[in-house]
Amino acid sequence: MRKPYVAGNWKMNKTIPECVTLAIELREKLPKDTKAAVAVIPQFLALPKVAEVLRGSAIGVGAQDVYFEKNGAFTGEISCEMLKDAGAAFALVGHSERRHVIGETDAIVRKKLEALLKSGLEVILCIGEKLEEREAGKTQERLSIQTRAGLEGLAKADLAGVTLAYEPVWAIGTGKTASTAQAEEAHQFIRGLVEELFDKSVAQSLRIQYGGSVKADNAAELMGQPNVDGALVGGASLVADSFLGIVKGA
């Protein structure tokens, strides 16, 4: 049985004190009997403080991005070791905002994923089609390209450190959620592809989160689908009660 995994991506929101306040509130309000794995993903500068607040709690801490080189002349970038030093246990790679706003390619995403695994950090690999791709019937083609680029050729054991997040780009921050049927269909497709690339047991243990306008009132239904193993939450993770409402739905 895959344990549901709910992560809150705070994106470029909140000052350091605001991140700390939210982390404290989550730590205090998260019910002891929570079944899901829960994590938060603050902006880089707040990461050390948030990690300190959540140390020893049931809430994990990750980073929104990473750079694949170890150190050196890469102005503005943050390495895996720096993330570890700051208290992160994992990082997102390939978030749609990095792919489509910053222009990150599949090849860069892959390098980041490998660097993270090599340094012992876990990864949430985000994939998802744009609206025009869905409308042109190219959803599966896009998911296949991104999944293969991210995972093909990795050792089976590496997959233990990887979570996938299916985030249709048209559903992120738009208030439009994929229907449960659309989400389940995509998740089923992705799991099938992972089985093809690795094997059934890898595919069955891989967690696939859904992301894109997840809210407390649609979370339970989405995560109730057989192949939806949690949620990657943006906007609704910025307020403790709404995020905890989603966690409750897992």
Which residue number, 123 or 202, has a Cβ lying nearer to ligand PGA? Answer: 123
The minimum distance between CB 236 and ligand PGA, in angstroms, equals 6
Distance CA 154, CA 141 (A): 21
Which residues are registered as beta bridge partners of 6?
38, 231
Which residue number, 95 or 191, has a Cβ lying nearer to ligand PGA? Answer: 95
The minimum distance between CB 41 and ligand PGA, in angstroms, equals 9
The minimum distance between CB 159 and ligand PGA, in angstroms, equals 21
The minimum distance between CB 96 and ligand PGA, in angstroms, equals 7
Which residue number, 67 or 210, has a Cβ lying nearer to ligand PGA? Answer: 210
Query: Which residues of this protein are in contact with ligand PGA, per CB under 6 A?
Result: 9, 167, 172-173, 211-214, 232-236
Distance CA 75, CA 28 (A): 38
Comparing every residue's Cβ against ligand PGA, the nearest one is: 234
What token pair was written down for 233? 């939450």
Name the residue among 125, 137, 196, 139 with its Cα closest to residue 171: 139
The minimum distance between CB 232 and ligand PGA, in angstroms, equals 4
In the annotation, is 114 catalytic? Answer: no
In total, the chain counts a number of residues equal to 250
Which residue number, 89 or 197, has a Cβ lying nearer to ligand PGA? Answer: 89
DSSP 168-220: -GGGTTSSPPPPHHHHHHHHHHHHHHHHHHS-HHHHHH-EEEEESS--HHHHH
Report how far Cα 142 is from the mean position of its chain's Cα atoms. Answer: 18
Which residue number, 30 or 92, has a Cβ lying nearer to ligand PGA? Answer: 92
What percent helix, strand, coil does the chain show, rounded to 5? 50, 15, 35
User: Which amino acid is residue 219, in one-letter code?
Assistant: A
Which member of 97, 104, 129, 167 is catalytic?
Answer: 167
In the annotation, is 100 catalytic? Answer: no
Name the residue among 156, 173, 155 with its Cα closest to residue 95: 173
Which member of 95, 97, 129, 133 is catalytic?
Answer: 95
- Catalytic annotation, residues: 95, 167
